[in-house]
Amino acid sequence: MPSLMRCINTVSRCGAIYRADRLKGTDLGDTHHSYILTLCRCPGISQDSLARKLFINKSNVTRTLAYLESHGYVRREQSTNDRRVLLVYPTEKAQAALPGIRSMLRDWNAYMAEALTEEEAAQLTAIMPKLAKRAAAYAGVSDEVFGDGNDAKATPSGPPFGPPSGQREDGGDGEVRTEAEEKEDAPENT
């Protein structure tokens, strides 16, 4: 029987292949979705906080942000409070890419869920946040990413791989958001 980590790595790597295929013909790569999702959710986040939130080392974040900036997806500004800190904001181009990214991730989740019964999907949806929280605790950022952890103990009541009822998924990256939180973060249409 394959180990837990081997299975998780296989799913992750195949997900990257899927994203690369879906993003062919664009200037986005298979890892850029997590940056755009996070920046649209947290505009003005510092590069260091972004690195912690995504579990990616700072030099890779700097390199990826330089790429995204050169392609018009992000802009970086020096913090007025601390000149050593760079704050990162999504551009209109990133906001425009967001619905397609969310759709792509929902499609992958649906594809994966097809292999499971409804009960298996519910069990997996309940178990995976616990494993993610434990892994994040090792990295020292669990509170920042998972809040108080209550979501890891909840039993989902929605569709397979969906969020608990009353909440909405934000792009399939694992974060669950209430409708009120989504409205708060939505760009104003003027």
Q: What is the pLDDT of residue 155?
A: 30
Same domain, 129 and 85: no
Q: What is the pLDDT of residue 139?
A: 85
Across the chain, what does the average pLDDT equal? 81
Number of domains in the chain: 2
Task: Please identify, among 39, 63, 95, the residue that sits at the C-terminal boundary of a domain.
Answer: 95
Q: What is the pLDDT of residue 143?
A: 52
* Residue 105 domain-assigned (yes or no): no
Q: What's the pLDDT band for 111 if we cut at 50, 70, 90?
A: very high
Q: Say whether pLDDT at 113 is over 90.
A: yes
* Residue 110 domain-assigned (yes or no): no
Same domain, 74 and 137: no
Same domain, 88 and 134: no
Task: Please identify, among 36, 65, 95, the residue that sits at the C-terminal boundary of a domain.
Answer: 95
Task: Please identify, among 65, 95, 125, the residue that sits at the C-terminal boundary of a domain.
Answer: 95
Element (H, E) at 74: strand 74-78
- Could you tell me the two tokens for 184? 């708060």
Same domain, 51 and 91: yes
Same domain, 126 and 84: no
Same domain, 127 and 160: yes
Distance, in Å, from the CA atom of 68 to the CA atom of 52, rounded to the nearest integer, reads 18
pTM: 0.74
Domain residue limits at 162: 116-185
Distance, in Å, from the CA atom of 4 to the CA atom of 76, rounded to the nearest integer, reads 38
Contact predicate 175/128, CB 8 Å: no
pLDDT digit string (tens) for 123-180? Answer: 999 999 999 999 988 888 755 555 433 333 333 333 344 444 444 444 444 444 444 4
Q: What is the pLDDT of residue 1?
A: 64
Q: Tell which wins on pLDDT, 157 or 78.
A: 78
Same domain, 9 and 91: yes
